[in-house]
């Protein structure tokens, strides 16, 4: 079943979907480049801190594409503390408050590995993602993963930015 809600096409979980992730060396999307540049600037001066650097006026144009992951159980899973409205198109529902394992399906191990690597190393990831529904692409976007710090500055978390590309 396909549901049209608020102009978004949402798929139910009975169909087969897949994500094909390809590493990038450069970003094409303007907002993805803006987020990465702002993160690099803040990382060079002590780090990107949740509650101080996001939300912010400088990143207002990218807030709808951000997802904030807090590690739980020593990084065995991740709790979504915040998911912007454009993330609805990727997952077909609001994932705020869910664990990564609750919505990532068969790709849990892959995404957990990517997020954990960013959390522990501080090295960002840049991916092109094709979201396939029953073999046909219905979304493609750039995904940026960045190490950020919890509001108390004690723990590294991960923030991703999802930026839809035109067909």
Domain of 140: which CATH number?
Answer: 3.30.450.20
* Confidence (pLDDT) at 132: 86
Domain presence at residue 4? no
Confidence of residue 4 (pLDDT cuts 50, 70, 90): very low
Decide if 120 is inside a domain: yes
pLDDT of residue 1: 40
The whole domain housing 56 covers 17-164
pTM comes to 0.88
Report the alpha-carbon distance of residue 147 to residue 36 in Å, rounded: 11
pLDDT, mean of residues 112-126:
97
Q: Which one has a higher pLDDT value, 143 or 58?
A: 143
Give the DSSP per-residue string, 72-108: ETTTTEEEEEEE-TTHHHHHSS--TT-BHHHH-GGGH
Q: Indicate the number of domains in the chain.
A: 1
| Residue located via tokens 């094709």 | 130
Residue 5 lies in a domain: no
**pLDDT tens track for 75-99:** 999 999 999 999 988 888 899 999 9
Give domain status of residue 1, yes or no. no
Domain assignment present for 52? yes
- Model confidence at 69: pLDDT above 50: yes
């Amino acid at each position: 079943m396909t549901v049209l809600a608020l102009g978004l096409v949402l798929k139910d979980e009975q169909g087969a979907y897949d994500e094909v992730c390809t590493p990038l060396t450069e970003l094409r999307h303007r907002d993805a480049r803006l987020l990465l540049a702002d993160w690099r600037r803040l990382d060079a001066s002590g780090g990107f801190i949740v509650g101080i650097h996001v939300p912010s006026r400088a990143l207002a144009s990218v807030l709808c594409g951000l997802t904030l992951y807090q590690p739980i159980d020593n990084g065995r899973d991740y709790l979504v503390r915040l998911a912007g409205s454009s993330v609805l198109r990727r997952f077909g529902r609001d994932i705020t408050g869910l664990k990564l394992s609750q919505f990532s399906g068969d790709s849990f191990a892959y995404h957990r590995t990517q997020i954990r690597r960013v959390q522990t190393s501080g090295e960002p990831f840049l991916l092109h993602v094709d979201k396939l529904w029953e073999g046909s692409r219905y979304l493609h976007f750039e995904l940026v993963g960045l190490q950020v710090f919890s509001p108390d500055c004690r723990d590294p978390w991960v923030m991703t930015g999802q930026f839809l590309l035109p067909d």
